[in-house]
Copies of this chain bind each other. A is one copy, B any other.
Amino acid sequence: MDHLTEPKDRLLLGPGPSNVNARVINAMSMPIMGYLDPTFLKVMDELVAMLKVLFGTSNKFTLPLSGTGTSGMEAALVNILEPGDNVVVGVNGLFGQRIADIAERCGANVTTVSADWGHPLNLSDVEKAVKSTDKLALLAAVHVETSTGVIQPLKPLADIAHRQGALFLADCVTSLGGIEMKIDEWGVDICYSATQKCVGAPPGLSPITLSDKAVEKIKNRSTSIQSFYLDLLLLEKYWISDRTYHHTASMPIIYAVREALSMAIEEGMPNRVHRHQTNAEALKEGLKALGFEILAQDGYQAPPLTAPIIPDTVDEATIRKSLLSEYGIEIAGGFGPLAGKIWRIGLMGESSQETNVLTFLEALEELLAKTDHKFQVGSSITSAKQVFAKWDKLENLKTGFYNDGKIF
C-alpha cells in the first residue's frame, strides 16, 4: 500500500538499536529454510560456535533465545530460581532493578545491594549482603548498566558468589561484542546478551550461556519451570543435542546475527575493543570541551555508552529532539531518577565510527550555538581529533581474534 509510513534513515547513537552494516542487512534476504532443514542446522551450529568466541566461553550450553535482551534476563531467572531461593541483586540502574523485579516474580527472596546510579557496586557492600544470606542461590549484577554507562568488573563479584557456594549471573546486554568478555576466566555462571548493541545486528535474539554448574541447578529443580517458551532444557534439545522441535526460530534474524558475529571475528576482538574505546574517548573529550561532565565514575566508564550530565544552561529534551528532527541523529534521555538530567549516547557495533563521533559533535555544537550555553566553537571537534590522532597510533592491534582462529 502506498500510504504506509516510510522508515527514515537515522544515525543511531542511542542505547540500541545501533546501525547495522549492509552485509548484515543483506544476510536477512537469504532463503528461508525449515527449522529442521539439515542445512539450517549447520547455520545454527555456526552461530553458536561464534557466540562462544565472543562470550569467551567453552560452555556446552550456549544458544540464542528467540526474543530480545529482556527475554534473556527472564529465561536466566525463571530457569535458575525456584520459589524460596535466596538471591542478592546489585542495583545501580534500571536493569539491576529489572533483575530484582523478575526474581521476585519467580518467588525468590530478593536482597538488593544498591549503589548510586552512575557508580559501580561497592564490593564490601555486596560481600556483606552475600555473607549474611543463608543458603544463597544466586548473586546477580549488570556488566554495563545501559541506564548510566557504568561498567562493573565481573570477576570480583563471581569470586564473592563462589566463596558462598552461589552461582553468579551477569547481564551482558550492552557489553558483548564491544568489550572483551572472558566468561569462563571470570567465573560467570549465567550470562545473557542482545544482538542490537555491540554485536552489530538488528534486535531479535538473546544469546545466553550457562556453566555446567548452572545447568545442574536447573536439572535438580524440585519445581517445574513456568515458562515453556523459555524452558532452557527444552531449547537445548532443539539447538544443541536432540534437534527436537520446540518453536520456529526466525531465520532472517539468525542469518543476520551469524553475519554480524562473523564480521566481529574478522575484525578481531582486540581491534574491535580498541575501536569502541577510541571512539568513546573522543566523544567524552569532545563533550568535556563543551562543558559536559560524565555521569559514570572515573575508571568505571563503559565505552559502549556515554552519559553526559546536562548543565543548567542546556535544555535536555529540546536539544535531543532537534538532533532527531533536524539531523536524523538519535540519542536517548535518562530513565527514572536521571530523566531530564543526562543523555545516553551509544557508540556500539557499527555505530562506533570516528565519523559518527564528529558528525554528532558538529550537530551538537550547531544546536548549542543557538542557546545561551557558552562554549568555544569547534573545541569539541578539536578535542575529539586529538584523541583519534593519539589513539590511532597506539600499537597496531591487528593480531586477529584471541583464539586459535579455528572456530568451526
Contact = CB atoms under 8 A, between A and B. Distances in A.
Nearest to A29: B25
B102 A250 contact: no
Contacts of A102: 228
A19 B252 CA distance: 12
A66 interface: yes
A318 interface: no
B253 A250 contact: yes
Interface in A237-262: 245-253, 255-256, 258-259, 262
A248 B4 contact: no
Contacts of A96: none
Contacts of A35: 17
A186 interface: no
B5 A101 contact: no
A28 B30 contact: no
A204 B30 contact: no
Interface in A62-85: 66-71, 73-74, 78
Nearest to A13: B34
B5 A228 contact: no
B204 A204 contact: yes
A193 B237 CA distance: 24
Interface in A175-233: 194, 196, 202-204, 224-230
Interface in A30-79: 30-35, 37, 39-40, 42-43, 46, 66-71, 73-74, 78
A255 B8 CA distance: 12
Nearest to A249: B203
A5 B70 CA distance: 29
Contacts of A7: 30-33, 39-40, 43, 251, 255
A69 B247 contact: yes
A265 B1 CA distance: 9
A229 B74 contact: yes
A29 B28 contact: yes
A105 interface: yes
B408 A3 contact: yes
Copies in the complex: 2
A246 B95 CA distance: 11
A150 B333 CA distance: 51
A372 interface: no
Contacts of A228: 70, 73-74, 98, 101-102, 105
B28 A28 contact: yes
Contacts of A40: 7
Residue from A6, A32, A40, A247 with most neighbouring chain B CB atoms (10 Å): A32
A324 interface: yes
B226 A5 contact: no
A278 B246 CA distance: 31
A395 interface: no
A258 B5 CA distance: 10
Given A228-B105, A252-B252, A31 B43 contact: no
Contact of A69 (B5, B28, B71, B248): B248
A204 B205 CA distance: 10
21 contacts: A4-B46, A4-B259, A7-B30, A7-B31, A7-B40, A7-B251, A8-B33, A10-B32, A10-B34, A12-B34, A68-B248, A69-B247, A70-B228, A73-B229, A98-B228, A102-B228, A105-B224, A105-B227, A196-B248, A203-B248, A203-B251
